[in-house]
Amino acid sequence: SFRLAKGKEKNLFSDLAGISLSQVLLSLQGTRHKQQGPLLLTHNGLSGPAALRLSAFAARDLAQNQYCGTLCLSTLPHLKNAAVLNLLQEHKFKASSQKISSKKYRPFADRIPYRFWLILILLALDHTKPTELRWADLSKIHLTALANALTDLHLPFDGKDTNKDEFVTAGGVSLSQVDIRTMASKVQPGLFFCWGTA
């Protein structure tokens, strides 16, 4: 799992510990590594199948960068940014008199937990009290910022959360150093290996 770097994102996300998102796309900025699946928000950052698979497949790149970088999170992986922006514009028209923080009149209620929606509003909108805004108050710039937060939220991280060491490290044993028939080390007598796959 990924430990979020100190900053606005970590401060806001720490209040979301225990919330899960059923389907996200999580990618490592600057690489081709991306994984889709459920995501769990923890008190330190991100975990769950999408985060664990990403840390496994990107283990070498993560090790090279001392487990620091930026994650890109799409909470609506089945929709492109332009489609999300169009849906937000439609929602603005339908719920114009409602507050954007309204639990009843929020978009994507079936996919995004309410508390997570409130945090996205705070991260996306540069306003002194963004949760007090009504849908009618939102400009195209505001809607674009919300669409970006829903489809490409950048989350800096500075380490791994070692809860039970569930993360994958870049390392291992070269198969040329193992007798595959007995799983014995060719380098160190009396040492045997085993492995599992996920």
pLDDT at 104 over 80: yes
pLDDT tens, 16-44? 888 899 999 999 999 999 999 999 998 88
Share of residues in the chain with pLDDT > 70 (%) = 91
Task: Please give the full DSSP string across 129-163, using - where no structure is assigned.
Answer: SGGG-BGGG--HHHHHHHHHHHH-EEEEEEEE--G
Contacts of 22 (CB under 8 A, 6+ apart): 38, 111
* Model pLDDT, residue 170: 44
- Give me the pLDDT at residue 190, please: 83
Instruction: Please state the pTM of the whole predicted model.
Output: 0.78
Confidence of residue 167 (pLDDT cuts 50, 70, 90): very low
pLDDT at 169 over 50: no
Quick: pLDDT tens for 135-154.
Answer: 999 999 999 999 999 999 99
8 Å CB contact between 55 and 197:
no
pLDDT at 32: 95
Mean pLDDT within 120-130: 83
Closest CA to 51 of 108, 43, 13, 59: 59
Q: Is the pLDDT confidence value at 164 over 60?
A: no
Do residues 155 and 70 lie in contact, with contact meaning Cβ atoms separated by under 8 Å? yes
